[in-house]
Structure 1
Amino acid sequence: MNEATLKRLEYDKIKESVISYTVSEAGKVLAERMKPSTDHRQVEAWLQETAEATDLLASGASIPLSAMEGIEPFMALLGKGRIYNEAELDQLAVWLTSVAQMKKYMNSKRHIAPTIAAYADSMFDCPELREELARCIRYGQLTDQASHDLAYIRRHIYAAEDKIQRKLEQTLSKYKSALQEPIVSKRRDRYVIPVKRELRKQVPGTVWDESSSGQTLFVEPNDVSDLQQELGQWKAEEDRERTIVLSALSEKAEAYAYELKRNVEAMASFDFITARAKHSRSIAGKRIKLADKPVIRLVGARHPLLGAISVPLSAELGYGWKQLIITGPNTGGKTVTLKTIGLFVLMVQSGLLVPAEEGSEIGVFRHVVADVGDGQSLEQSLSTFSSHITVLSEMLKCAAPRSLLLLDELAAGTDPTEGIALSIAVLEELLASGALAAATTHFNEIKTFASVTRGCQNGKMAFDADTLQPLYRLEIGESGDSHAFAIARRFGLPEKVMKRAEVLLSSKDTSLQKQGDDFIPGLREALQMEASNGADAAGQSAAFSTASKEKVKETKHADASSKPSMQPFQQGDAVWIYPLKRAGVVFRPANEKGEVIVQVQGKKHTFNHKRLRLYIAKEKLYPGEQYDMDIVFDTKENRKARHQMTRKHVEGLTIITPGEE
């Protein structure tokens, strides 16, 4: 996956959220490595894991994850002959207890999470090692039961300490007058009493320390020196036996190196899976269908970083069309729509649940490339246009049936005339490649391209013209306006400026009318191809491109569409068919029932006139009163046959006229 695209679509923020839910360092490492997979089976497995963990959390269960504190350095030293200390072995014992708890827990939850419960079967609770550690170590110290010799040595230590204590109590009374206070303490692991410096000679013995003021000396009386020496010998014996016991325990732990490593891996996986589930619950994520084909259908989708404040989005790509051209006002949600589509694909392919409703479906894509944001870079000396071209070049290189390409603000950052031509050429190339593409634009030429090109679809962000407020709702099948004047007034531009702008626009529209008429023949050609028998998408795109490129050389804002007419439809009118969400040509005007026959792709369909909207009047599409409409509605073979029939009789010559649907 493209790293720049991951950042543009804010995938890094999703990853940070998942990381924050991990409880162990090993689980955090897995979360930091999270990225979308292009393997369908892998994605399906990840989604199953996350869904099951989400179900576990929803059931009110508390998954007994381990933070694995101290286990990572312990595992790093395995196999290197280290003798572990009591604290390290105690941590191992606690860790093995948590492994046993996880195995028991998962075994009891097989009915909720059969897949991840089976993962616990690969964990080893190592009962022999765990029991041995529990017998030998308690609260981070070796127990007397760790070995017979250790128990024997400690009995002698306890006895020696008891003798010393009794002897010192006697010396406290014996040297009472020379003491600062009658207490026994330890200095350098020796039992001592506090003697006044000036009376030091009254207490024969060894000075081991003195107070900070120097007025008190800590003296080991000669009366207990022999006992202290005996105690020291037993302490040395204890240290030797302690080393023997710890060595044996360490050796036993080394024997379980494989099992311990598998346990760490499994617990880290549980931690990562649970973190994905916690993140999914935090955004009200649901498991949606993973399609075999590269398609996208979102129903009630909410951008995961916006949460409840976002307006549910419904959109699709890869079913009836491969390109979706989104129009509408600024701040209307066009860019958020692109980001939602792209981010949902990345999240699903990372095994994450997404906030969408039932009926949503996403396929697996090999490439996701997004051109969102102006991309300016002072360091790389990239202008907005240069940045767009850089990304477009990358898109064209990876364009294929399993590619998702997101283009924000087509034709932005340069002269609109050239930008529009370049944008349409790119869209044609992407369409021919079979890639899915969603793009935003303000330009009418690109809207018209989408309306007359098979495989393309218009969509608009809804706008309340009364309140001048964007509704952030995508409506498929129609193109939207920028509402620039209305928004400008809403944000307080002086009325004098607005009226002047309207005058200029009206003047410009008048001057462009003739130029706009020059654009109609190209559009007519595209519609004729649409009406012909089975013209392919590439042919339509090429026909439209020829006309549109000639037009954009002459004007920046030519409007190829006409306003709806109030007069009845005529044969030859180009109309927009709402049920089919595409254009067609009127074959027979409305009858007494209001039914109109429209030709689409060489086939004739009947629609109620209320389901149609005049797109381009016949007069503009077919100049001249004597224009032969058979060119539009009949096949070349039938026209040739009719011509022959008017001249002479031809045996076996027939004309086949397709019926209505």
Structure 2
Amino acid sequence: MKKAQDELNMWKLEEEKEVYVILSTLTNMVAEYIRELNIDIEAMAYYDFLFAKGRYSKSIDGRSVSFNSKSYIDIKQGKHPLLGRNAVPLDFTSGDKYRAVVITGPNTGGKTVALKTVGLLTMMAQSGLHVPVEQNSEFAVFADILVDIGDGQSIEQNLSTFSSHIKNVINILNCADNHTLVIVDEIGSGTDPEEGMGIAIAVLEQLYDKGAAILATTHYSEIKDFARNHEGFINGSMEFDINTLKPLYKLNIGKAGESNAFLIALKLGMNRNIIERAHEVTYKEKKDYSQYKWEDKLKENYQEVEIHKQKTAEFKEAKKKNAAIERTKAKSKFNLGDCVYISFMNRTGVICETENSKGEYGVMVMKKKLKINQKRLSLYISGEEMYPEDYDFDIVFESKQNRKNKKILSKRHEEGVEVIISKGDSR
């Protein structure tokens, strides 16, 4: 026996040696064509990249654009690729008579989306991708696109909102030149309004002097006046429906926008006297806001909200009831009389006791009752198929004597007669 085992081990070693020889030979054969293989891999990667660009262009309805080196941007019906084809298109022009656009308007009006759309489309075009715009759109080629968007406050670095913005703006000022596009959202925000406004105007002047193309948003009225009076700057605004108080998400270059905070607060239910006093404090003039009457609309909206809440509550309640019914149905995986397959015993048995708190069923196997977890059981034949309706399972699960005693006790009490009930039996 030992001799045979040694011989087997020797042949296994010989087999491993032969496998090594074969693999080494094949590797050497492949290595002779390493240059050709590298060329093929590069070609495959290049064509895969081209096809991916084509598929992406088709998915966003992209088009090719023309380029210039004069910091001139002319976007016709541009759409942010992540917003889909149903997004409100953006028309944007800069770099001809002006190269700095300051956008104003209410919150949630689309100012930040407009900034991101211009910046992202510019980067996509410079990367060789088609962009979702109409024909005859034109983009400038920039050496850098410097952006400060969002709230970069950090507990770890002990930076507030204002500090994080200023840190980004300092880096932008150090890098900006006449080949740079600078995009700044809510410039000068996060601090005292007067000081923030002063910093914002000084930064915009410095960026303009450096020759950068500028796209910025703000709520400061002083910056709107600065853009109106400073050469090379122009105001822009996101259009707003004053009747419905809803943003239209359209950029209107050449006109400054209003934040409409007073009107929005008035529509939401703030007292008209408070709004008029706020207007007087802000603009040093009185204004009558009684012309804006939304009381009826507010009542209708309130009723609609209440109806919506009621329907939502009813829906949630119905959902809970359905879930409870489903849980009740799913609670018992097997029923009495079901024939189940017992995986670890490789044989079948019949469910004789319902599930207990541990997830175990009583299973009759070879005339013995065993407790087996449901995870080790699978349905083989349902009891409905095996037995007729209202079948008396005592015939299967109970001994003859037990059944006889049950019959006696159902009629009368008799001393010495007892019925043995298995633990966990719910029948």
Q: 1:259 to 1:416 in 2, by over 3 A?
A: same
Q: Which string of whole-angstrom CA distances, capped at 9 and with x for unpartnered residues, describes residues 583-603 of structure 1?
A: xxxxxxxxxxxxxxxxxxxxx
Report what 1:286 is aligned to: 63
Cα separation, 1, equivalents of 2:71 and 2:46: 29
1: CA distance between counterparts of 2:2 and 2:22?
A: 35
Contact preservation (8 Å) 2:240, 2:248: yes
> 1:324, 1:288 → 2: CA distance?
22
Instruction: For residue 266 of structure 2, give the secondary structure of its aligned residue in structure 1.
Output: helix
The aligned residue for residue 527 of structure 1 is none
Report the CA distance between 1:507 and its aligned residue: 4.8
**Which of these residues, 175, 185, 191, is aligned with residue 414 of structure 1?**
191
1:331 aligns with 2:105: no
Give the counterpart of 1:503 among 262, 277, 284.
Answer: 277
Question: 1:510 offset after TM fit, Å?
Answer: 3.3
Q: Which residue identity lines up with residue 297 of structure 1 in the other structure?
A: D
Change in Cα spacing, 1:236 to 1:390, as seen in structure 2 (3 Å) is closer
- Offset at 1:245? 6.0
Distance in structure 2 (CA, Å) of the matches to 1:277 and 1:305: 17
Aligned length, in residue pairs: 284
Query: 2:279–2:285: 8 Å Cα contact kept in structure 1?
Result: no
Q: Pick the aligned partner of 1:373 from 145, 150, 159.
A: 150
CA–CA separation in structure 2 for the residues paired with 1:479 and 1:378? 36
- Name which of 87, 97, 105 aligns with 1:310: 87
Matches within 5 A, 1:176-575: 247-490=24-267, 492-494=268-270, 496=271, 498-510=272-284
Change (3 A) 1:273 1:500: same
The answer to whether the Cα contact below 8 Å between 2:77 and 2:134 also exists between their aligned partners in 1 is yes
Amino acid of the structure 1 residue aligned with 2:187: L
> How far 1:262 sits from its partner (Å)?
1.8
AA paired with 1:493? G
Q: 1:350 to 1:505 in 2, by over 3 A?
A: same
C-alpha offsets along residues 436-460 of structure 1, whole Å, 9 cap, x if unaligned?
0111112221111111111111111
Where structure 2 has 5 or more consecutive residues not aligned to the other structure, the ranges are 287-427
Q: Which amino acid aligns with 1:388?
A: H
CA-based RMSD of the aligned residues comes to 2.9
Distance 1:249 1:427 in 2: 66
> Is the contact made by 2:148 and 2:184 (CA closer than 8 Å) also made in structure 1?
yes
Deviation at 1:254, TM superposition (A): 1.6
Paired letter, 2:240: F
**CA-CA distance at 1:238 after TM superposition:** 9.2
CA distance in 2 between partners of 1:274 and 1:351 (Å): 13
Aligned-pair CA distance for 1:309: 3.3
**Contact map agreement 2:73 2:138 (CA 8 A) in 1:** yes
SS at match of 2:36: helix
In structure 2, the CA distance between the partners of 1:376 and 1:243, relative to structure 1 (3 Å rule), is closer
Pair 386,234 (structure 1): closer, same or farther in 2 beyond 3 Å: closer
Contact 2:262 2:279 in 1 (8 A): no
Unpaired stretches in structure 1, ≥5 consecutive residues: 1-205, 209-219, 221-228, 513-661
Quick one: distance in 2 between partners of 1:358 and 1:294? Answer: 19
**Cα 1:245/1:321, change in 2 over 3 Å:** same
1:602-659 CA distance string (max 9 Å, x none)? xxxxxxxxxxxxxxxxxxxxxxxxxxxxxxxxxxxxxxxxxxxxxxxxxxxxxxxxxx
* Alpha-carbon distance, 1:334 to partner: 0.4
User: How far is the alpha carbon of 1:241 from its aligned partner?
Assistant: 7.7
CA contact (8 A) 2:186 2:217 kept: yes
Question: What does the per-residue CA deviation read over 1:37-70, in whole Å, with 9 as the maximum and x for residues that have no partner?
Answer: xxxxxxxxxxxxxxxxxxxxxxxxxxxxxxxxxx
Take 2:74 and 2:67, find their aligned partners in 1: how far apart are those partners?
Answer: 11
**Partner amino acid, structure 2, of 1:359:** N
> How far apart are the structure 1 equivalents of 2:129 and 2:283?
50
Q: Which amino acid aligns with 1:506?
A: E
Output one character per residue of 1:522-572: Cα deviation in whole Å (capped at 9) or x when no partner: xxxxxxxxxxxxxxxxxxxxxxxxxxxxxxxxxxxxxxxxxxxxxxxxxxx
Q: What SS does structure 2 have at the residue aligned with 1:481?
A: coil
In structure 2, the residue corresponding to 1:309 is in which secondary structure? coil
Q: Helix, strand or coil: the match of 2:284?
A: helix
More helix by share: 1
Which stretch has the larger CA shift, 260-269 or 469-478? 260-269
Q: Report the AA paired with residue 286 of structure 1.
A: R
**TM-score of the two chains, using structure 2 as the length reference:** 0.61
Residues 371/493 of structure 1: CA separation in 2 closer, same or farther (3 Å cut): farther
